Amino acid sequence: MAKHSLLSPSSAARWTACPPSARLCEHIAEGPSLFAEEGTEAHALCEYKVKLALGIDAADPTPTLGFYNEQMEDCADEYAAFVLEALQQEKDAGKDPIILLEQKVDVSTYVPECSGTADCIIVADGKLHVIDFKYGQGVPVSAERNTQMMLYALGALGMFGALYEVDEVSMTVFQPRLANVGTFTMASDELLEWADSYLRPRADLAFKGEGEFCSGPHCRFCKVKATCRARAEANLALARYEFRMPPMLDDDEVCKILGKVEELAAWASDVKEHALKAALTGKRFEGFKLVEGRSVRKYTDEALVAATVLNAGHDPYEKKILGITAMQRLLGKSQFEQMLGNLLEKGPGKPTLVAESDRRPALNAATQDFKEN
Ligand code: SF4
């Protein structure tokens, strides 16, 4: 397996925000992750699908994919269609684009020893596209000033800047399992200016293990997220919030707490998970003990249960219509849409209070309907 560079594009959001985290995490091993394996397989299928669509000879990886299923197939098809469309747009504009898949890019001009692999790069006169496939379905990844994408784009500019006049860089995150497809476009001059004025100095600090610890949403992917003192102190600062009189919080104070609550909840859950894992290996935390959680009853032998109930003259089975996912699997995506498309509806989602920066549109006056009585 290739050695991961200290400052990789995929962790750049973290080490640019918190430079000393890079050296702090450097020697901490990370266990194998099924999600990562699944993602690698999905990427292999995506690459194959795009090659197939481009008429490039490639071996079908499907028989070797342990996580392969219909959803992976659909996601890879959607990705391939997206890539082909981006390529076609450049051709339609009279350009002569080139496309590179799983392309290694070198970012070491700005970041020591940094390189990465971009899923798809399309270069044409005037424009560079970087498209990144994300198979994860935990957190939606935003394309807006996405540091990983910006590093890939810098690497691609380094490769093609001399051959093509690139004025604009378009960076797309394609995350089909969350129906999240976002593109962020910026002038290549602006990207290069960011690389000189922000990225390079942050990377130098990170490489030397210097700079200030800084906690934030980027901690979610940090190896020391559960035991990091800086993160703990930042979150505990909220608990030390100095409440003024009168005894009820005013709206400003509620806003301040709302702004921190997600981070606080994520941190608390990371600490709990870390402590539970350690306790399960025998570690003792003063004042705490391991107990059995709630468990549910279940049949030890379903066939025997059914036979016993039938013998007693009762019907042990219930007949239920398949759920939407199972039905789609049964019929296949296109037949499902054709047969049942007009029999589907999507009710309004439960109102959620999020920061103004969230990409979802705000609920309008109809929110009255959601008011609790
Ligand atoms: S947990 Fe957050 S604050 Fe701590 S080292 Fe990691 S990124 Fe920095």
**Per residue in 262-282, pLDDT tens?**
888 999 999 999 999 999 999
Residue 223 CA to ligand 1 center (angstroms) comes to: 8
Pocket probe for ligand 1: among 6, 16, 23, 224, the residue whose CB has the most ligand atoms within 8 Å is 224
What is the band of 248 on the pLDDT scale with cuts at 50, 70, 90? confident
Residue nearest to atom 4 of ligand 1 (CA): 228
Query: CA torsion sign, 213 to 214 to 216 to 217?
Result: negative
In Å, what is the CA distance from 21 to each residue of 33, 145, 198, 348? 21, 21, 17, 41
Quick one: which atom of ligand 1 is closest to the CA of 215? 3
How far, in Å, from the CA of 282 to the mean position of ligand 1?
26
With CA atoms as reference, report the closest residue to 173 among 104, 103, 211, 120. Answer: 120
Q: Would you tell me how many other CB atoms lie within 10 Å of the CB of residue 309?
A: 13
Ligand 1 binding pocket, CB closer than 6 Å: 14, 18, 21, 24, 213-215, 218-219, 222, 224-225, 228, 230-231
C-alpha gyration radius of the chain: 25
Report pLDDT digits (tens) over 18-29: 999 999 999 888
CA atoms within 13 A on the CB side of 323: 2
**Percent of the chain residues past pLDDT 90, beyond the cut:** 70
Calpha distance 153→157 (Å, rounded): 6
Smallest CA-to-CA distance from 159 within 106, 113, 117, 112 is with 106
pLDDT of residue 261: 86
Question: Strand (E) positions, the chain?
Answer: 98-106, 115-124, 126-133, 166-175, 180-187
Nearest to 238 by CA among 219, 261, 207: 261
Greater confidence (241 vs 105) lies with 105
pTM over cut 0.85: no
Q: Quick check: 152 and 102 in contact, CB under 8 A?
A: no
By C-alpha distance, which of 182, 124, 126 is closest to 149?
A: 182
Question: Between 274 and 247, where is the model more confident?
Answer: 274
The values of phi and psi at residue 166, to 5°, are -100, 115
Mean pLDDT of the chain: 90
- Contact by Cβ (8 Å): 322, 330: yes
Question: So what's the pLDDT on residue 242?
Answer: 65
Q: What pLDDT, on a 0 to 100 scale, did the predictor assign at position 239?
A: 67
Q: Which residues contact 165 (CB under 8 A, 6 or more apart)?
A: 125, 126
Q: Mind listing the pLDDT tens digit for each residue in 78-125?
A: 999 999 999 999 999 888 899 999 999 999 999 999 999 999 999 998
Ligand 1: which of 218, 273, 274 to mutate, judged by most atoms within 8 Å of the beta carbon? 218
For 33-89, give the DSSP string. Answer: -HHHHHHHHHHHHHHHHHHHHHT------GGG-TT--HHHHHHHHHHHHHHHHHHHH
Cα–ligand 1 centroid distance for 162 (angstroms): 38
Ligand 1 atom nearest to CA at 219: 2
Best of 7, 16, 18, 221 to mutate for ligand 1, by most ligand atoms within 8 A of CB?
18
40 Cα: distance to centroid of ligand 1 (angstroms)? 26
- Token readout for 260 is 């921190």
Residue 17 alpha carbon, nearest atom of ligand 1 = 7
Name the pairing type of β-strands 166-175 and 180-187: antiparallel
pLDDT of residue 21: 97
Helices (H), strands (E): how many in the chain?
A: 12, 5
Of the candidates 79, 78, 91, the residue with the CA atom closest to the CA atom of residue 123: 91
Distance (Å) from CA 225 to ligand 1 centroid: 6
What pLDDT is recorded for position 162? 82
Closest CA to 325 of 137, 140, 81: 137
Residue that wins the pLDDT comparison between 161 and 173:
173
pLDDT for residue 146? 97
Tokens standing for residue 228: 């990091």
339-356 per-position pLDDT tens digit: 999 999 988 888 888 888
Residue pLDDT, tens place only, 45-61:
999 999 999 999 999 99
Tell me what pLDDT residue 3 has.
55
Give, for ligand 1, the residue of 7, 231, 267 to mutate: max count of ligand atoms closer than 8 Å to Cβ.
231
Kindly list the distances between the CA atom of residue 339 and the CA atoms of 301, 307, 327, in Å, as whole numbers in the listed order.
37, 36, 11
In DSSP terms, 181 is beta-bridged to 174
Residue nearest atom 5 in ligand 1 by C-alpha distance: 21
Measured N-to-C along each axis, helices 324-331 and 333-340 cross at an angle, to the nearest 10 degrees, of 110
Q: Do the beta carbons of residue 362 and residue 353 sit within 8 Å? A: no
Cα 227 to middle of ligand 1, angstroms: 9
Looking at residue 249, what is its pLDDT?
A: 85
Domains of the chain: 9-208 (3.90.320), 225-280 (no CATH), 302-341 (no CATH)
Given a contact cutoff of 8 angstroms between Cβ atoms, the answer to whether 145 and 184 are in contact is yes
From 228, 233, 264, give the residue whose CB has the most ligand 1 atoms within 8 Å, as the site to mutate.
Answer: 228
Adjacent-strand bridge partners of 104: 117
Residues 302-342: pLDDT tens digits? 999 999 999 999 999 999 999 998 898 899 888 999 999 99
367 pLDDT above the threshold of 60: no
Among protein residues, the one with the nearest Cα to ligand 1's atom 3 is: 215
